[in-house]
Structure 1
Amino acid sequence: MTTAALFQPLSIGNVNLKNRIVIAPMCQYSAIDGQMTDWHTMHLGTLAASGAGILTLEATAVSPEGRISYADVGLYSDACEAAMNKTLDAIRTWSDMPIAIQLGHAGRKASSQVPWKGGAQIPPGSAQSWQTVAPSAVPFKSDYDAPKALDIDDITRLRLEFADAAARAARLGLDAVQIHGAHGYLLHQFLSPLSNKRNDEYGGSLENRMRFPLEVFDAVRKAFPADRPVTMRVSATDWVEGGWDLEQTIAFAQALEERGCSAIHVSSGGLSPDQKIAVGPNYQVPFARAVKAATKMPVVAVGLITEFEQAEAILSTGDADMIAIARAILYNPRWPWHAAAHFGASVTAPNQYLRCQPRRFPSLFQG
């Protein structure tokens, strides 16, 4: 039996993870009218056979205008729900890995081109574009079209859209919901003073800027079964002076914990093109460490975690409770297998693959 922290089980609510490896949400920009396609079945099916602890579906929009691009997945209609159900049914036929979904709204960063075509905003009036919305009429970049500032009726509608998507996620049998409050998308836009210039109860003070994201959490928590976890992903800093920072993140995390948040995934950046990030291995781990020290929630660390010993050190030193990988598992979809082999641990593998178990690792596969 391995002593590696990476392969110790963990329970979050009623969701039992066989190890501490989280597959982070990764947009595929391959949906049609918000509906998953065969690409998602192939992509997610591969990841569901990876031996990780839990798989998180990509950022899923709660409304059409909440999509990052015209090719994003949504969960705002019966057609979106039916397409996702088809994909999930195919995956669950062959994998018992828990599956979570990330629900979000892109706000002023919506109506964008897919990354391999540049990723820039598509101006309103062009094909496959729409008017973006945000807490304030402040564009993401100076050459972008300004978003429409949300009024109180809009905010009420958005809360209901998050709740409706959470109810659809519950009907689909998804094991957990993660609310996207990071990377410069709508909830992060409310949190940061760089993008939130409101002078009503949703702007100004930290308490006011946190108000809408916390209302969204409450709405999702109420709409999703009480025995299934609801978590939040946050950016711990904007990496811009005068923006959202770690001190405010800790206050937000503590407010979430008081409301029953089951875990928090700590990332950073994405709100401003002026961000200056010293990118390197573990560059976001200190933020996870600080949030973990200030709360009792399980904390997920993420960001250029690529090596097995690196991931193990993050957990064994107590900096986080789980590590999330994204690009690393796209590059190597069997990353958890190789990590388990490295530490003398075991992972679940499909019966169809059991005979590929290397002779030198006779206990690698649990079957």
Structure 2
Amino acid sequence: MRGEGPALFRPITIRDLEIRNRVWVPPLCQYSVTARDGVPTDWHLVHLGSMAAGGAGLVIAEATAVSPEGRISDHDTGLWNDAQADAWARVTRFLRTQGAASGIQLAHAGRKASVWPEFLRRSGSQPLDEGGWTTLAPSAIAFDGLREPVALDEDGILAVIDDFRAAARRAVAAGFDLVEVHAAHGYLLHQFLSPLSNVRDDRWGGDLEGRSRLLLEVVRAVRAEIGERMPLFVRFSATDWAPGGWDEEQTSLVAERAVEHGADFFDISTGGLLRDVRIPVGPAYQAAHAEFVGDRAGVSVSAVGRITTPAQAEALVASGAADAVMFGKAMMRDPHFAIRAAHDLGADTSMWPPQYVRARPDLNDGEW
């Protein structure tokens, strides 16, 4: 790592993009498109913008559907039309003024789509006669408690690839600095990867090569649209936490293949494919999976999950266990977490917005 000072606050360069530090914001679903048209709102501008102003190096917008049927709920953001891209451009312009890199996670929810937004305090699938829609999956196997999906045919799978391709094109037009492909948390691409949800016997199923084919074709299509200068991330769930399911060894093998198809960086989480599994949740409980994938595949990774203090994150980056750390709930609790972490670790705090400089601790007897 080049530079001096805490590892967490050294810049990192991926392709042509330099990111000012390793304190990153993961995609955080907001379910806040009340017009149900996929167009991001003032909420998204303020939500993401506050974290950029708070010193984050990279801010990744929430899981954004590549098609209407790819939304988790009908209150999700989208990137399947130009009106959505135009609205996202307002967000990326502001993030850039604050010195943060902007990313967007392109997603398709598959069998976990068409559910009620969490704010409505209703659970399960949204009925077809109340605005819901038919869900799609590699196989007609329902997620526990949700409506049974329709298994995609060959034409449907090729249409999904085209949807990711078109959304990537719009992400570039909207001014995003990088694109992340969502292959985690039990959504469509993860459903294809796991043998627990993909029981196909054609070229899109069966062995690891077949089950990973859709993801790799999506990565190839996205890379072709975004060009050679823009970074391309992939988010994986490194394990299903279930016997016979997707695991970190398969994740590592597919990460290596994804690099060959144009991916640069891997955002490592876990779970989401099954509802009732035992997950040993605790401080930084997923970081070991990121380290495993990084080491085994020889790729750059970020860690996420119950990482709540600057010291935890610094230890992960300084040791080489992760190249960056994603702070989700910590950032929602405190959008200025990055600035505070820089203060706590004795790093350069030049990312303070000039409007807030008079609040800097070094100008106020050192008190936070």
Same fold (TM over 0.5): yes
| Contact 2:89–2:175 (Cα < 8 Å) also in 1 | no
Q: Match of 2:331, as an amino acid?
A: I
Which of 239, 247, 254 is matched with 1:252 structurally? Answer: 254
Pair 261,90 (structure 1): closer, same or farther in 2 beyond 3 Å: closer
Figure out how many residues of one structure are paired with residues of the other and give that number.
362
| Contact 1:2–1:344 (Cα < 8 Å) also in 2 | no
Which of 74, 81, 90 is matched with 1:77 structurally? Answer: 81
Q: Match of 2:338, as an amino acid?
A: P
Structure 1 gap segments, 5+ residues each:
none
Quote the residue 1:204 is aligned against.
206
Question: Which residues of 2 match residues 1-367 of structure 1 at below 5 A?
Answer: 3-31=5-33, 32=35, 33-92=37-96, 94-118=97-121, 120-141=123-144, 143-347=145-349, 348-359=351-362
| Contact 1:37–1:83 (Cα < 8 Å) also in 2 | yes
Shift of 1:152: 0.3
Q: Match of 1:236, as an amino acid?
A: A
Please state whether the residue corresponding to 2:38 is helix, strand or coil: coil
Q: Calculate the TM-score normalised by the size of structure 2.
A: 0.94
Shift of 1:3: 2.4
| Alpha-carbon distance in structure 1 between the residues aligned to 2:65 and 2:315 | 34
Pair 154,119 (structure 1): closer, same or farther in 2 beyond 3 Å: farther
Q: Deviations over 1:118-140 (max 9, x none)?
A: 46333442312111100011000
Q: Deviations over 1:31-72 (max 9, x none)?
A: 131011111111112111011111101111000000000100
Please state whether the residue corresponding to 2:197 is helix, strand or coil: coil
| Contact 1:2–1:343 (Cα < 8 Å) also in 2 | no
Q: Match of 1:240, as an amino acid?
A: A
| Alpha-carbon distance in structure 1 between the residues aligned to 2:131 and 2:240 | 29
| Alpha-carbon distance in structure 1 between the residues aligned to 2:363 and 2:77 | 42
| Alpha-carbon distance in structure 1 between the residues aligned to 2:8 and 2:315 | 9
| Contact 2:219–2:262 (Cα < 8 Å) also in 1 | no
Shift of 1:252: 0.9
Q: Match of 1:62, as an amino acid?
A: V
Please state whether the residue corresponding to 2:175 is helix, strand or coil: coil
| Contact 2:59–2:100 (Cα < 8 Å) also in 1 | yes
| Alpha-carbon distance in structure 2 between the residues aligned to 1:9 and 1:88 | 20
Shift of 1:258: 2.0
Pair 90,9 (structure 1): closer, same or farther in 2 beyond 3 Å: closer
Structure 2 gap segments, 5+ residues each:
none
| Alpha-carbon distance in structure 2 between the residues aligned to 1:299 and 1:90 | 27
| Contact 1:67–1:111 (Cα < 8 Å) also in 2 | yes
Shift of 1:101: 0.6
* Bigger mean CA deviation after superposition, 113-122 or 64-73: 113-122
Q: Match of 2:99, as an amino acid?
A: D
Pair 105,361 (structure 1): closer, same or farther in 2 beyond 3 Å: farther
Q: CA RMSD in A?
A: 1.8
| Alpha-carbon distance in structure 2 between the residues aligned to 1:265 and 1:288 | 8
Q: Match of 2:341, as an amino acid?
A: A
Please state whether the residue corresponding to 1:299 is helix, strand or coil: strand
* Bigger mean CA deviation after superposition, 176-185 or 4-13: 4-13
| Alpha-carbon distance in structure 2 between the residues aligned to 1:35 and 1:213 | 26
Please state whether the residue corresponding to 2:267 is helix, strand or coil: strand
Please state whether the residue corresponding to 1:43 is helix, strand or coil: helix
Please state whether the residue corresponding to 1:359 is helix, strand or coil: helix
